[in-house]
Amino acid sequence: MIEHLDLALVNWSRAQFALTALYHWLFVPLTLGITFIIAFMETLYVKTGDPEWKKTTKFWMTLFGINFAIGVSTGIILEFEFGTNWSNYSWFVGDIFGAPLAIEGIMAFFMESTFIAIMFFGWNKVSKKFHLLSTWLVAIGSNLSALWILIANGWMQSPVGMHFNPDTARNEMIDFWEVFLSPIGINKFLHTITSSYVLASVFVIGVSAWFLLKGREQLLAKRSIIIAAIFGLVSSMFLIYTGDGSAYQVAQKQPMKLAAMEGLYEGSEGAGLILLGMPTPGKEINDGKDDYVFKFEIPKLLSFLGYRNADAFVPGVKDIVEGGFEYEDKNGEIQIAISALEKIEKGKLAINALSDYKKAKELEDLVKQEESLIIFRENFKYFGYGFLNDPESIIPNVPITFYSFHIMVALGFWFILLFALVLFFIFKDKLIGKRWFLRLAIITVPLAFIASLSGWIVAEVGRQPWTIQDLLPTVASVSQIDASAVQITFWLFTLVFTALLIAELKIMFKQIKIGPKEGGH
């Protein structure tokens, strides 16, 4: 099938989706995290009655409002793209996506929209406790909205709980709980929200550091820094835990992604985790070149993290393409991995069987229908491979995945150090005098966004060529539309989103400069 496709169409469609998803994600994590920080501050206001806490709460609420207003509904564009550019994919996923997205839409509308109005308009109009409850519900509601999106994304990374209907060419959910409680989806949700808490904490510390540098709003800044640093530090611990869980799931379900994250071409037992390294540029399997130009690694750690066994074999890119290594299946039995070429052959058998089944159905040939279905079901787990011709096309972009992963991890550890140092300087009462550190805290704010976006690049680039792991590659997911139409909307989105980003930054900076004040938002 691949030769019938316009690769320009596939690439432009991918670029457009990546652009809109990344821009959308610039707005989301701050909302997910800062709402909890605001809720903590308002809780302290309600408990103490101290008007400075109210002023602090309202100031951060205004910044949240700016981010929320500019970012709201940017995600709807992704849904437009599903229907227009990715129609085969949208049809193929069937109701697996429909149910979580519908729940997300209803929850987001009722939980967020209703309680956000009370949060902003309700001061002095509803009781303090009801206002506080609304603030907490905004925080919880926005995080629950993310839950459903991430469960849907988790299903794409590891499709479970469904049955493919060959009559309609759609997947049908047969076990909601298997989809909802998929370990890869749950880990993804927890890792994503905790990373958002860390990002919001860095944001609050950075803005507060600016006030301290300017000698303004010192009480507000110090209190905000303490809350954000404690929240950020606790979230970071949980982030490491969920990151470990995510890596373990990736090792089990998406070993190619793990190999790309570590730039590992040749697998080994007792594989080390790369602390710092540079994959060999232009490296291909079987070219005889070393995997890395240089590397510093922690011995055996990758094996331990991926398989809970320091001596376990971690397959590299080459092993996954060529097969032949032993692995433990979900029933705990040892299996020999088959090669990508064999998977491609099985995938083609499944596609042919689907075609034969459809023809036999038209001819009302019941025997042929049954025969075709047996072949189809035997080979369905490799269905997506049938759209590929070259075994090496299952390799994602290794350098992008490797560097994104290592940038994300390195920055994550820098944020932990930042939170710890902030608390250390606060308790030693030396923070205001450390001007170099305050400047560093401001510079760290954009780094938190870079880390967050890098995480998504690892998750999505690392699982290429798949839109649905093993079942549907990007080349088979796109609609047959004109590539030039996709190019036009790509540039249109670049324009619209950049304008929105500039608007957000301008309004946000202006509001920070104005600082906290009483009155409306």
Stretch that binds another protein, among 30-38, 162-170, 231-239, 454-462 (CB under 8 A): 162-170
**Of 94 and 412, CB closest to another protein:** 94
The dihedrals phi and psi of 466, each to the nearest 5 degrees, come to -95, 140
205-208: long-range contacts, CB 8 A cutoff, minimum separation 24? 205/229, 205/232, 205/418, 205/419, 205/422, 205/441, 205/444, 206/441, 206/442, 206/444, 206/445, 207/63, 207/445, 207/512
Q: Where does residue 507 rank: exposed (0-12), middle (13-18), buried (19+ CB within 10 A)?
A: middle
- Residues between 112 and 131 that touch another protein (CB under 8 A): 117, 120-122, 125
Helix axes 398-427, 218-253, angle to 10 degrees: 150
With contacts defined by CB under 8 A, name the span among 86-94, 335-343, 426-434, 438-446 that binds another protein: 86-94
C-alpha–C-alpha distance, residues 88 and 471, integer Å: 12
Stretch that binds another protein, among 149-157, 167-175, 202-210, 221-229 (CB under 8 A): 167-175
Q: Which residue lies nearer to another protein by CB, 283 or 358?
A: 358
Tokens of 217: 């709003």
- Decide if 112 contacts 140 (C-beta within 8 A): no
Instruction: Work out how close the CB of 435 gets to another protein at its nearest, in angstroms, rounded to a whole number.
Output: 30
**185 closest CA partner among 163, 202, 161, 209:** 161
What is d(CA 273, CA 299) in angstroms, rounded to the nearest whole number?
7
Is residue 518 a contact point for another protein (CB under 8 A)? no
Tell me how far, at minimum, the Cβ of 512 lies from another protein, in Å.
12
What residues numbered 1-60 form the site for another protein, per CB under 8 A?
A: 1, 3-4
Minimal distance in Å, beta carbon 37 to another protein? 19
Q: Which range binds another protein by CB under 8 A, 79-87, 104-112, 189-197, 216-224?
A: 79-87
Among 89-97, 211-219, 249-257, 320-328, the segment contacting another protein (CB under 8 A): 89-97
Tell me which stretch binds another protein (CB under 8 A): 43-51, 235-243, 450-458, 487-495: 487-495
Of the candidates 265, 213, 204, the one whose C-alpha atom is nearest the C-alpha of residue 415 is: 204
In whole angstroms, how close is the CB of 105 to another protein at the nearest point?
Answer: 15
Q: Is 194 in the site for another protein (CB under 8 A)?
A: no
Q: Which of 8, 102, 169, 219 binds another protein (CB under 8 A)?
A: 169
Among 83, 98, 299, 324, binds another protein (CB under 8 A): 83
**Binding residue for another protein (CB under 8 A) from 32, 190, 475, 476?**
476
Q: How many residues bind another protein (CB under 8 A)?
A: 55
Q: What is the residue type of 30? A: L
Handedness of CA 466, 468, 473, 476 (dihedral sign): negative
CB neighbours of 440 closer than 8 A, spacing ≥ 6? 418
Q: Could you tell me the two tokens for 26?
A: 């610039």
Instruction: Cite the DSSP H helix spans in 365-434.
Output: 366-379, 398-427
Q: Which residue, 121 or 296, has its beta carbon nearer to another protein? A: 121
Measured from the CB atom, the residue of 69 and 366 that comes closer to another protein is 69
Euclidean distance between CA atoms 232 and 422, whole angstroms? 11
Q: Which of 309, 480, 484, 498 binds another protein (CB under 8 A)?
A: 480
Angle among Cα 329, 238, 331 to the nearest 5 degrees reads 10
Q: Print the binding letters for residues 358-397 with another protein: x by CB under 8 A, - otherwise.
A: x---------------------------xx----------
Please check whether residue 475 is in contact with residue 5, taking contact to mean a CB–CB distance below 8 angstroms: yes
| Token pair 């075994």 in the structure block, residue | 391
Residue span binding another protein (CB under 8 A) among the ranges 68-76, 175-183, 321-329, 432-440: 68-76
CA 66 – CA 26 distance, rounded (Å): 13
Q: Which of 496, 501, 512, 515 binds another protein (CB under 8 A)?
A: 496
Instruction: Tell which one of 55, 131, 346, 348 touches another protein (CB under 8 A).
Output: 348
When asked if residue 170 is in the footprint of another protein (CB under 8 A), the reply is: yes
Which parts of this chain interact with another protein (CB under 8 A)?
1, 3-4, 62, 65-66, 69-70, 72-73, 76-77, 80-81, 83-85, 87-88, 90-92, 117, 120-122, 125, 167-170, 348, 351-352, 354-355, 358, 386-387, 476, 479-481, 485, 488-489, 492, 496, 500, 503, 507, 511, 519-521
